[in-house]
Structure 1
Amino acid sequence: MPESELPDEVQEEAERLTRLARDAVDPDERAAYLSARDDLVEQYDFVARHREEDDVLVLHPAEWVDDGGTVRPAQIDDIDRGIERPLSGTGEDHEWSAVEEHNATVVETIADEHGDVHAANARAFADFLGNHYVRRIETAGTPEVREFVKEYYPRNAWPTAEQRSVLSESLELIFDAAGAELPEFK
Structure 2
Amino acid sequence: MAERSDGDTGRHSADGERSEGDGDAEVPDDVVEEAERLTRLADEAAVEDAAEAYRDRRDDLVADHDFTARVRDEDDTLVLYPEEWVEDGTVQFDRIDDTDRAVEVSLSGPDHGAEWDAIEERNEAIVDAIEAAHGPDHAANVRAFADFMGNHYLKAVDDATRDEREEFLTEYYPRNAWPSKKQESIVAESVRLATETDLDDVPGA
| TM-score, with structure 1 as normaliser | 0.50
Higher relative contact order (CA 8 A, sep 6+): 2
| TM-score, with structure 2 as normaliser | 0.45
